[in-house]
């Protein structure tokens, strides 16, 4: 399940203000000409100013705005010619002819540019959809003794992929899952997410130790940072960018779940209507900040995961979503409220609850994996 949302307020605010002001420039010029021509200052030659209005409108307002600016310019020209008794003079007709030619040229150019931009945007969207199918593919509905579902919500307007990542794979060691969040935005974040996911998808099939799976992801991120020029002395990742919070979980045939958490929000376990946060026994830094790891070697934390239990892995875009009063979204409460929902119904209900809480505006991307353990091989439990 994927659903892009619009950008939060303030994103590109300065650019939006600039273009909003630029759209008024042609009409401001027409008003200036009208003031000049209706006052003693009409001795100033204003013809070139009116001729420029459709050309300026074509830059920021498109074909319809070009015609609107041209219509205003013609109206001003006719009004001033009447007021100054200038009809019959060569200057008035020359100005109108020039205005007509510039309008036709500006309209044609603006329409062609808009068509080209729409074609380019459609192509980019097709590429983004193909990239999403590879990078953020939905998890399989059935994974051994589990039933699973996933959801991704992009905060960026028109975006379908971002800095959040997730995957779930059935292996000979059990079902292995990852959910992560790249610090940063844009293409560098997408690249880091692709690197971590690629390393995870490779390591889960041959590394029997879950810790080594996580280490494989961290090493791949470090190598990519060095190749991208973000590495510092000794090849360490720049601490100000490029690190990834992640949680990796493994569900073997036994009724347990093993979790390694690298600076990520802990998974939530729902059992009999009660939600429990699977907090790590020892905090660990995100991927890319391995120099801060000290003490004994990492070991996965193990928690009971019995038939009928539900496990939720998520990014901080859920729990850090705020309403107008800056109140955080209560994910455990929402999870407990919808404890009897099927997975798809739960994800749809969660999506709607987030939209209501944030008035349709997410400040960060959201990635979720939802997993139910079946009662047994013959009793499917929640469907």
Specify whether 205 is located in the same domain as 276. Answer: yes
Specify whether 99 is located in the same domain as 186. Answer: no
pTM over 0.75: no
Give me the residues paired with residue 268 across strands.
Answer: 277, 312
Q: Which of 291-305, 333-347, 366-380 has the lowest mean pLDDT?
A: 366-380
Task: Give the pLDDT of residue 217.
Answer: 93
Q: What CATH number has the domain bearing residue 268?
A: 3.60.40.10
Specify whether 63 is located in the same domain as 195. Answer: no
Provide the greatest CA pair distance for the chain.
96
Sheet holding 256-262, edge to edge: 164-171, 174-182, 244-251, 256-262, 301-304
Which of 65, 96, 128 is where one domain is finished? Answer: 128
Whether the pLDDT of residue 378 is over 60: the answer is: no
Task: Give the pLDDT of residue 209.
Answer: 93
Q: Is residue 2 situated within a structural domain?
A: no
Q: What's the rounded mean pLDDT across residues 115-124?
A: 79
Which of 128, 150, 182 is where one domain is finished? Answer: 128
pLDDT band at 130; cut points 50, 70, 90: low
Query: What sections of the chain are H helices per DSSP?
Result: 13-22, 25-37, 47-60, 62-83, 90-135, 186-203, 210-227, 316-319, 331-337, 343-358
Give me the residues paired with residue 166 across strands.
Answer: 179
Q: Is residue 359 situated within a structural domain?
A: yes
Whether the pLDDT of residue 342 is over 70: the answer is: yes
Q: Which of 12-16, 74-78, 377-381 has the lowest mean pLDDT?
A: 377-381
How far is residue 190's CA from residue 184's CA, in Å, rounded to a whole number? 9
Q: Is residue 37 situated within a structural domain?
A: yes
pLDDT band at 364; cut points 50, 70, 90: confident
Q: What's the rounded mean pLDDT across residues 174-184?
A: 91
Number of domains in the chain: 2
Specify whether 112 is located in the same domain as 143. Answer: no
Which of 128, 158, 192 is where one domain is finished? Answer: 128
Q: What share of the chain is helix, strand, coil (3-state, %, to 5)?
A: 45, 20, 35
Task: Give the pLDDT of residue 125.
Answer: 64
Task: Give the pLDDT of residue 200.
Answer: 95
Domain that holds residue 173: 139-373
Q: What's the rounded mean pLDDT across residues 36-55?
A: 78
Q: Is residue 66 situated within a structural domain?
A: yes
How far is residue 346's CA from residue 352's CA, in Å, rounded to a whole number? 10
Specify whether 334 is located in the same domain as 355. Answer: yes
Task: Give the pLDDT of residue 293.
Answer: 78
Specify whether 143 is located in the same domain as 197. Answer: yes
Q: What is the pLDDT of residues 215-271, one digit of tens each?
A: 999 999 988 888 766 554 444 444 446 689 999 999 998 899 999 999 999 999 999
Specify whether 145 is located in the same domain as 41. Answer: no
Whether the pLDDT of residue 172 is over 90: the answer is: yes
Specify whether 225 is located in the same domain as 367. Answer: yes
Q: Is residue 380 situated within a structural domain?
A: no
Specify whether 269 is located in the same domain as 154. Answer: yes
Let me know if 261 is exposed, middle or buried by CB neighbors in 10 A (0-12, 13-18, 19+). buried
Specify whether 94 is located in the same domain as 160. Answer: no
Q: Is residue 314 situated within a structural domain?
A: yes
Specify whether 145 is located in the same domain as 94. Answer: no
* Cβ–Cβ < 8 Å for 167, 199: no
| Other Cβ atoms within 10 Å of 64 Cβ, number | 13
Q: What is the pLDDT of residues 62-109, one digit of tens each?
A: 888 888 888 888 888 888 888 777 777 777 788 888 888 888 988 898
Q: Is residue 78 situated within a structural domain?
A: yes
Specify whether 112 is located in the same domain as 171. Answer: no
When comparing pLDDT for 174 and 297, which is higher?
174
């Amino acid at each position: 399940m994927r659903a892009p949302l619009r950008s939060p307020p303030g994103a590109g605010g300065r650019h939006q203000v600039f273009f909003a002001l630029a759209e008024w420039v042609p009409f401001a010029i027409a008003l200036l000409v009208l003031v000049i021509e209706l006052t003693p200052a009409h001795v100033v030659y204003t013809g070139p100013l009116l001729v420029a209005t459709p050309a300026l409108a074509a830059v920021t307002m498109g074909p319809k705005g070009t015609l609107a600016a041209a219509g205003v310019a013609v109206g001003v020209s006719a009004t001033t010619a009447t007021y100054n008794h200038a009809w019959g003079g060569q200057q008035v007709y020359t100005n109108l002819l020039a205005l007509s030619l510039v309008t036709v040229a500006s309209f044609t150019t603006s329409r062609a540019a808009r068509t080209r931009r729409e074609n380019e945007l459609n192509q980019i969207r097709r590429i983004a959809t193909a990239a999403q199918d590879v990078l953020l593919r939905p998890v399989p509905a059935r994974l051994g003794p589990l039933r699973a579902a996933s959801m991704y919500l992009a905060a960026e307007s028109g975006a379908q992929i971002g800095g959040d990542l997730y995957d779930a794979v059935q292996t000979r060691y059990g079902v292995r899952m990852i959910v992560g969040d790249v610090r940063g935005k844009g293409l560098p974040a997408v690249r880091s997410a692709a690197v971590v996911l690629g390393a995870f998808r490779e390591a889960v099939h041959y590394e029997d130790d879950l810790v080594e799976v996580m280490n494989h992801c961290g090493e791949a991120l470090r190598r990519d940072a060095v190749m991208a020029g973000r590495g510092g002395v000794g090849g360490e990742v720049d601490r100000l960018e490029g690190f990834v919070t992640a949680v990796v979980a493994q569900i073997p045939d036994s009724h347990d779940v093993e979790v390694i958490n690298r600076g990520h929000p802990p998974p939530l376990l729902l059992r009999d209507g009660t939600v429990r946060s699977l907090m790590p026994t020892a905090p660990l830094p995100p991927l890319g900040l391995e120099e801060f790891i000290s003490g004994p070697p990492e070991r996965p934390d193990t928690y009971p995961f019995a038939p009928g239990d539900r496990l939720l892995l998520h990014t901080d875009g859920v729990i850090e979503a705020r309403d107008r009063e800056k109140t955080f979204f209560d994910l455990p409460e929402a999870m407990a409220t919808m404890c009897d929902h099927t997975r798809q119904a739960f994800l749809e209900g969660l999506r709607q609850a987030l939209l209501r809480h944030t008035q349709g505006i997410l400040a960060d991307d959201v990635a979720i994996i939802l997993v139910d353990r079946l009662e047994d091989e013959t009793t499917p439990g929640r469907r």
